[in-house]
Structure formats: structure tokens, C-alpha cells
Amino acid sequence: MNKYKCKICGKEFEAYKNHGKDRLYCSIQCHGKDKQDYMRGKYVGKDNHNWKGGLIYTTNNRMFIYIKGHPHASNKGYLPYHRYVYEKYLIEHDPLSNMLEYKQGRLVLKRKYHVHHIDLDPTNHHPSNLMGMTNSDHRALHNELHDKELIKFTLECKERDIEKVYELFNNRKD
């Protein structure tokens, strides 16, 4: 028999190894309490065994940062990283900006503002590459960029196959 210390109550107990693994709990009650804590979210964030510093990437290359208690974070506590970087930049360099507001005791970027990547690279989070704007301004900017790209594409392809260009243009989804 080996001596162990219970993960929950701290009581020392003796037991045989379980399939070569050390025992964590002195009783079924302590095991149940730990499982309840897990289900209630005790092991989220830094307490989770899969913690990787709070940064996650989505399949479309978007980065999110874990900020517990941020008013604009998702229900799991994640905020788009570019919003976080721009918010921190504004707080440090222009704390009186009309883009910021106090919410839940902290200064944050207002929800109505979007953060645009100037070089259109969603992985470039340098503050000099980020620009805050309203949703309507952001949408108008991307529509204008889309139209310019379409014109550029049309001019580049015009010499090759004019019929194919017109077909692509007419079948696009607006």
C-alpha cells in the first residue's frame, strides 16, 4: 500500500495504485465534490489543465484572448485579440477618446466600434495596423475595397478571357 494526500480535503490515506496511477481522493465523496467543482467551472482559465496562456486561434486564423470579466467578452470569456490590442492602445494613448466607455468598473472600447486591419491581414495585430470605426463606416470601407478589387481583377483578366470575367462578375454574391 502507498500513502497519498487527498486532493480535496488534504487528509492522508493509504491505498493501492489504480492501474499504475496515483490515487487523488480519500473517498467517493471527495471525488464527487471535485467533479462538481469541475462542472461548475472551477477549472476554467489558468486552472484548466489545457491552459495555453489564454490565446486561442479559430480555423479562419482569428485570435482570441481570455479576459475574465470583460464586459464585451463571449460567454466563455474570450475577446477578439485585435479589439483587445486596440482597446489597450487607446487607454494608454488617448484615454479621453469618445470610442471608450466605463463599463463594469473598467474602461473599454464601446461595442458599436469595429476594429479594422489596415493592411487587411487579420493576423497583424500591431496597433499601427488597427483603426477603430463604426459598423457602418467599416462596412462601407470593405464594400469600397471589394469594388476596387473587382475592378482590378477585371482589368487584369480583360486581356485573357473577357467572357469569363463577365460571367464571374454576373454570378458574384453581393
Is 0.75 topped by the overall pTM? no
Q: Which pLDDT value is given to residue 163?
A: 56
In which element (H, E) is residue 33 found? helix 28-39
Q: What are the E-state strand segments in the chain?
A: 2-5, 12-15, 55-57, 63-66, 78-80, 100-103, 106-109, 113-117, 130-134
DSSP state of 22: P
Mean pLDDT to the nearest integer, 39-66:
75
Give the rounded percent of residues in the chain with a pLDDT score beyond 90.
26
Q: Which of 85, 79, 81, 64 is nearest to 128 (CA)?
A: 85
Query: With bands split at pLDDT 50, 70 and 90, how would you rate the model's confidence at 76?
Result: confident
Check whether 169 has a pLDDT greater than 80: no
- 51 φψ region: left (φ > 0), alpha (ψ -120 to 50), beta (else): beta
Q: Which pLDDT value is given to residue 93?
A: 92
Q: How far is CA 18 from CA 15, 21, 38, 72, in A?
A: 9, 5, 21, 45
| SS3 state of residue 7 | coil
Long-range contacts from 137-146, C-beta under 8 angstroms, 24+ separation: 138/114, 141/116, 145/120
